[in-house]
Structure 1
């Protein structure tokens, strides 16, 4: 990612300051500078690598993120080149690669790193920001009742059931999170060609929700209803849609030339942060808890209809009897 102008100016000023310090140093020891510089390169890159490996280990074992070795190597290739060249020079000149001061320097870096971590924890990252925006800008409008024009998401489903003569075994909004971030206009595009397995079909949408928001009069929100067809079994009705912020992210990443500042972001890390934050907010919200369900879908290896059915069964194990009894 290219440096911004202000970052570049500061970087140049730091180089000039370092050159000034070097000019005022003792020139009698200049012959030792290459060795000292190479050794410090090794020290700094080793400490950075240890920190990076710690984060990767945490993400892999605690969050279940997969390690992309080639991607990590590509991102660190400049460090690898500098590290290799420094080690090669120290070996060629028969100097020690690590001195006793390495442990002390490592300890100092760890101590000074702690205040930086506290500062970073106060900074909202991209995924967290998207989750908050999605909740307040969308879910908070279509899930709870406003006590006036909108009766609320659950009651909206009840009205739909009465008009259409159907039953929703789980009255939640299923928010589909696709691994590829691709979000089609119709979820039936995720159906497999094999009609012997469950597949999705769009139904008439729920009643529109109209609100005056941010200067927009009668802004319309709409939730789609879907029917899961199952061979030899009654269909299952639900409301489902993809997470629109991730759809937007997918479009942004497809146009990296236009959005250079985001060209090096890790999409899976953003998705992980988005889902983690959104789950927390939904769980803490009295109006939205137990009314939204995040569904991770590994496309194209999985069948979305099967994934949704599994989630419905997990939430309501007796959903088959609910469907049958209502039908009678």
Structure 2
């Protein structure tokens, strides 16, 4: 409703300027009409060049072949106006583009130049914000050492290895990025129970009294909460041949939060039209960039994409393939018992 009021005020202002300047003449009404139609074409053409440039940049630098957000934001009404305006000009033997288009385009580019070095707050996407929150609010609590009792993620994994007499071939936190964004309470729920020929995940978080077969928890006072617990879960992958393979893994909980939001769109109407794939892409690319820049978390987190909608895909095998890529000697390593 506010946009309607602002639009009406702009119309009134435009009429006032026109009447006040006394530039409108009755015998020039056709000239005015064709000029307005032509400038509509100019404006929409310039907007189109900006969108096409954005898509080209994404294709070249972000390896995103189609910016679905831009495609979804295409205004059908503007397309109709654009085609209709061109048709009006052509049918009346009027030029679609005249020499003033170049001048208007140059003026537009000049006005855009001062904004190149600025990043308005509104340009921060939902996915970027989720990645920053996940990094600062979670990973920074479970990966680096705090300089005190908690020696960091690697030391925590080593303690688990020593306690269980096993070897974790890749000492990284595997973050599972599911296609649907759904995260089960236990990753072994992704196992294909009707396929005994496939590898299977099993959690190592069984507690016997105060003893835990998974990684040790870390407690920290955060945001007024005393002894807030942060933890990771170890898993082992049972294979048809060979000993089990151990790792530390979990799903990307921010994406699961987005999954819940999408399931309750009537409650979150501001996000009802968000493009989920773009949000996921922004989340993953931003998180990878943060991890690469961070001296405290670099090389300790691995993102693994898993299409949980594909009935033929098996998470355990997807992870095994990634472990093979990261550590080709993993079979030799896991044969060692401490």
Aligned: 1:227 with 2:227: no
Write out per-residue CA displacement over residues 60-114 of structure 1, whole angstroms, 9 at most, x where no aligned residue.
Answer: 3432324378982673312212112212222332322222222222222223223
Structure 2 CA distance for aligned equivalents of residues 220 and 70 of structure 1: 38
- Structure 1 residue 137: Cα displacement: 0.6
Aligned residue for 1:88? 87
- Structure 1 residue 54: Cα displacement: 1.8
Where do residues 97-116 of structure 1 align in structure 2 (5 Å cutoff)?
Answer: 97-116=96-115
Aligned residue for 1:246? 255
Using structure 1 for the length normalisation, give the TM-score: 0.89
Q: Sort the Cα spacing of 1:73 and 1:224 in 2 relative to 1 into closer, same or farther, 3 A.
A: closer
Runs of 4+ in 1 over 4 A off after TM superposition: 68-71
SS in 2 for 1:170: coil
Aligned residue for 2:191? 191
**Partner residue of 2:286 out of 257, 266, 277:** 277
Q: Sort the Cα spacing of 1:133 and 1:93 in 2 relative to 1 into closer, same or farther, 3 A.
A: same
**Partner residue of 1:319 out of 307, 330, 336:** 330
Q: Sort the Cα spacing of 1:107 and 1:198 in 2 relative to 1 into closer, same or farther, 3 A.
A: farther
Write out per-residue CA displacement over residues 123-158 of structure 1, whole angstroms, 9 at most, x where no aligned residue.
Answer: 533222221111111111111122333232111112
Aligned residue for 2:320? 309
Q: Sort the Cα spacing of 1:73 and 1:151 in 2 relative to 1 into closer, same or farther, 3 A.
A: closer
Aligned residue for 1:218? 227
Structure 2 CA distance for aligned equivalents of residues 179 and 270 of structure 1: 12
Aligned residue for 1:27? 24
- Structure 1 residue 317: Cα displacement: 1.4
SS in 1 for 2:166: coil
Equivalent pair of 2:203/2:236 in contact (CA under 8 Å): yes
Equivalent pair of 2:68/2:278 in contact (CA under 8 Å): no
Structure 2: which 5+ residue stretches go unaligned?
206-213
CA RMSD of aligned residues (A): 2.4
Structure 1: which 5+ residue stretches go unaligned?
none
SS in 2 for 1:326: coil
Q: Sort the Cα spacing of 1:74 and 1:146 in 2 relative to 1 into closer, same or farther, 3 A.
A: closer
Aligned residue for 1:147? 147
Structure 1 CA distance for aligned equivalents of residues 316 and 52 of structure 2: 38
Aligned: 1:161 with 2:171: no
SS in 2 for 1:232: coil
- Structure 1 residue 9: Cα displacement: 4.4
Q: Sort the Cα spacing of 1:74 and 1:126 in 2 relative to 1 into closer, same or farther, 3 A.
A: closer
Aligned residue for 1:291? 300
Q: Which moved more, 1:214-223 or 1:151-160?
A: 151-160
Aligned residue for 2:37? 38
Structure 1 CA distance for aligned equivalents of residues 10 and 118 of structure 2: 22
SS in 2 for 1:296: strand
